[in-house]
Amino acid sequence: MGSSTSTPDATPVDGPAVVSPSPDAPRLDIAVFTIFPQLIDAFAGESLLGKAQRRHLVRVRTHDLRDYTTGVHRSVDDAPFGGGAGMVMTPEPIFSAVEATEPPRPLLMLGPAGRPFSQAMAAELAAGGGFSLLCGRYEAIDARVRDHLVDGEVSLGDFVLAGGEVAALALIEATARLVPGVMGNATSALEESHSENLLEYPHYTRPAEFRGWEVPDVLTSGDHARVARWRRAQALARTLADRPDLIEARGGLTAADRKLLAEFHLG
């Protein structure tokens, strides 16, 4: 009845043979309920997610809600009771799809009224082993889905999209890259923006001088301890300037933070 698709195991055309992870490597199992499964499948089959699926670290399955409709026209929406603009997604195909497939929980609905998605939530989901996402379309989803089927609602921010698919893809990638083995460098995910409620420090590569702009001397000094302190100070300074709310969430600057900023004349 319902369709379930995932990226098949395969050797990348332009890469080496796929190396299977060790038996104890964790895997993240993700199910997505949508009326546009091809959008999810195409994205999840490429780049980081595609490689993670081929290595059996992550699995992304899509379920087409239209496969669970009963009408000839496979309609998933109807006019709202009480009148108003737009159409509302009907509950029947959504309940039927979820009950027929028994997806990994929690089942989260994407919507602007939900809990704000964050790096901390990504880490929480990555550690849980699996989750499912419900992508809405049209004006809204029948409220009975939120009240009696899903485990929560998640929002990417205070803005409105045409549907939940783009938000779902962002959430999936942010979460999947935290699964051990998915990132090429295990320390990358730990040093990136928001990992400690700090924005990431600036990065530089060759050439050391470009159009008169030079790489900071500390990065070419060979003093690894000083480089680490500089990066920390830059992260603090960037966060203070662009996201002071994150500093407040950490309880403010510590004495060590202030000393570090002063060392590099940033505070």
Peptide bond into 207 cis (omega under 30): yes
Instruction: Kindly list the distances between the CA atom of residue 40 and the CA atoms of 7, 65, 119, 135, 169, in Å, as whole numbers in the listed order.
Output: 10, 13, 21, 10, 7
Which are the contacts of 184, defined by CB distance < 8 A and separation ≥ 6?
Answer: none
Which residue is associated with the tokens 């809405």?
Answer: 136
Residue 140 CA to residue 162 CA, distance in Å, equals 10
Residue 175 CA to residue 182 CA, distance in Å, equals 10
Contact 104, 151 (CB under 8 A): no
Please report, as a single letter, which amino acid is at residue 254.
Answer: T
Query: Which amino acids are annotated as binding site for S-adenosyl-L-methionine, given as ranges?
Result: 136, 156-161
Say if residue 243 is exposed, middle or buried (CB neighbours under 10 Å; 0-12, 13-18, 19+). Answer: middle
Which residue is associated with the tokens 């205070």?
Answer: 158
User: What is residue 2's DSSP assignment?
Assistant: -
Query: Which amino acids are annotated as binding site, given as ranges?
Result: 136, 156-161
Query: How big is the CA angle at 64 (ends 58 and 70), to the nearest 5 degrees?
Result: 150
Query: Rounded to 5 degrees, what are φ and ψ at 235?
Result: -65, -40
The answer for 197, left when phi > 0, alpha when psi is -120 to 50, beta otherwise, is left
